[in-house]
Amino acid sequence: MLKEILSISGKPGLYKLINNTSNAIIVESLLDGKRFAAYSNSKIIALEDISIYTEDEDMPLKEVLKRIFEKENGAQALSHKADTEKILAYFEEIVPEYDHNRVYVSDMRKIIQWYNLLADKKMLSFEEETPKAE
């Protein structure tokens, strides 16, 4: 699910991988549907490769999104523009074991914003991918 959803630093929102070329990748914005080439000088990361710091070991972003999905029954979460106190309380409820020193409110806002965007586009699926039988 999250392999083809990308975050590009300096650009708002999330992007879906469309195609690879020799020196760039073609992406489509989930916000407005526009396609463009993203080059290697941009910091591009798949959501699957992102994790958050916890008191024990890092938690994959997929697990955080799954917890929000289960709490909200697939509906939208609170707005990422909510008051800082509300964001902190909400995140504490979702991931009580997060590392309070290394996970910032801005990170929490971004995760909530990404969740709401993916939920709005019906792109959240948490079924385990099973290998295809031959």
| Longest CA span, the chain | 52
Of 113, 103, 101, 31, give the one whose Cα is nearest residue 68.
113
Average pLDDT over residues 51-78: 93
Q: Backbone dihedral region of 37: left (phi > 0), alpha (psi from -120 to 50 degrees) or beta?
A: beta
Round the average pLDDT of the chain to a whole number and report it: 90
Cα–Cα distance measured from residue 122 to residue 78, given in angstroms and rounded to the nearest whole number: 17
| Cα separation, 105 vs 121, whole angstroms | 24
Tens of pLDDT, residues 1-51: 788 999 999 888 999 999 998 889 999 999 999 999 998 888 999 999 999
Pull the structure tokens for residue 109: 């806002």
132 pLDDT more than 70: no
Whole-model pTM: value is 0.88
Q: Is the pLDDT of residue 106 over 80?
A: yes
pLDDT tens digits, residue range 72-86? 998 999 999 999 999
Evaluate whether 65 touches 1 at the Cβ level (below 8 Å): no
Place 128 in a pLDDT band, splitting at 50, 70 and 90.
Answer: low
**What integer pLDDT is reported at residue 87 of this predicted model?**
95
Question: For the residues 96-100, what does the mean pLDDT come to?
Answer: 95
